[in-house]
Amino acid sequence: MPSGVFAVLDDIAALMDDVALATKVATRKTAGILGDDLAVNAEKATGFLADRELPILWSITKGSFVNKLIIVPVALLLNAFLPAAITWILLAGGCYLAYEGAEKIVHFLAERVGKKPHAAAPAQAEKPASGEEKDKVKSAITTDFILSVEIVIIALGAVAEEELSVQIVTVSVVALLATVGVYGFVALIVRMDDAGYRLMKGSAENSLLSTIGRGLVGALPVVIRVLGVVGTLALLLVAGGIFVHNIHYLHELLPNVPASLKEFAIGLAVGLIIVGVLALFQKVRRTPHPALPDEQSANTVDKSERTL
């Protein structure tokens, strides 16, 4: 009996060693997308009232956990039984990220030239704060879902040659670390001004701590603006990377161009195409259709009959 227990413990120790090594490899391969994930989600989690930042961030974090609970088992099942579907899922997610990044750029440029990018903008401005919060939280969770798919797929690819048990534990650990690490760091960023205010309040006016506090308070708006730019660029880079790595023609296109520049350009191009197609579709839907000649004559006859 004791020998059986020791054998089980030895198997568990060997599994943990394999998982630790595989997790290290997978984390290294997902480091780039984790950085993009941080920039995107930090940008989406800012811009709220100070007393609403942490509750909203917690809502997004819970949504991210739910995303991982859905994505990890589905990815493992697809990888085992229908691996080709993973590529199509990634491409669909890349289209969404490209659209979101390009839409932000179009919106920014439209504001700078004094034009409204959407006809529905006045109605959006009249929304209550709670409605705006729900929309932003929903958008953040949707974007997190796409980025989480990319993270899980990359982590799964890094351990594709390992046993199934190692794959399951490794991908689960990477997914958990992604959520805890990213949103934990985002929480530190969004509360940076609060920490600075506490330092200023609890120290002498010209002390080092007070100076650091003023620096934190003054730096937060700059950090938020930078994160907004970096987050938008990250959306397009991730989208372009998905297209380049999964479409052979794009992978071989312009081999002398730096990879990051090519991925950004492709992501932006795809995003602008989708933005344009959706804008055209909305315009067509809003355009009233003129009555056909037969319908006009029928309406005229009907009116004359009613008059008689």
Give me the residue label for tokens 């997978």. 26
For every residue of 6-59, DSSP letters joined together read HHHHHHHHHHHHHHHHHHHHHHHHTHHHHHHHHHHHHHHT-SS-HHHHHHHHHH
- Please check whether residue 298 lies inside any domain of the structure: no
Residue reference for tokens 């930042």: 53
Asked if residue 190 belongs to a domain, the reply is: yes
Per-residue pLDDT of the chain (308 residues; tens, 9 = 90+): 455 544 544 445 555 555 565 666 555 655 556 666 666 666 666 666 566 777 888 888 899 899 999 998 998 888 888 888 888 888 888 898 889 889 989 988 888 876 554 544 443 444 445 677 788 888 888 888 888 887 888 788 777 777 778 788 888 888 888 888 888 888 887 777 778 888 888 777 777 878 888 888 888 778 777 877 887 888 888 888 889 988 888 888 888 889 889 999 999 999 999 999 999 998 888 777 565 555 555 555 455 555 54
Supply the pLDDT for residue 119. 44
Any residues with CB less than 8 A from the CB of 247 and at least 6 apart, and which?
Answer: 91
**How is 57-112 classified by DSSP, letter by letter?**
HHHHHHHHHHHHHHHHHHHHHHHHH-THHHHHHHHHHHHHHHHHHHHHHHHHHHHH
| Structural domain range at position 63 | 2-287
- Alpha-carbon gap, residue 59 to 127, rounded angstroms: 20
Closest CA to 241 of 259, 253, 258: 259
Q: Is residue 304 part of a domain?
A: no
Residue 300 in domain: no
pLDDT of 300 reads 54
Q: What is the DSSP letter of 291?
A: P
pLDDT at 267: 92
Q: Is residue 308 part of a domain?
A: no
- Predicted confidence at residue 6, as pLDDT, reads 43
Identify the pLDDT of residue 13: 54
| CB neighbourhood size of 12 (10 A) | 10
HSE value, Cβ hemisphere, 13 Å, CA-based, for 166 = 22
Report which DSSP code applies to 290.
Answer: P
Ramachandran region, residue 151 (left: φ > 0; alpha: ψ -120 to 50; beta: rest): alpha
d(CA 75, CA 148) in angstroms, rounded, equals 11
Question: In terms of Cα–Cα distance, which of 125, 175, 54, 233 is closest to 241?
Answer: 233
Q: Does residue 296 belong to any structural domain of this protein?
A: no
Q: Are 216 and 192 in contact (CB under 8 A)?
A: yes
Total number of domains constituting the chain: 1
**Residue 273 domain-assigned?**
yes
Instruction: Decide if 155 contacts 170 (C-beta within 8 A).
Output: yes
* pLDDT in the model for residue 289: 58
**pLDDT value, residue 266:** 93
Q: Are 196 and 212 in contact (CB under 8 A)?
A: yes
* 150 is a domain residue: yes
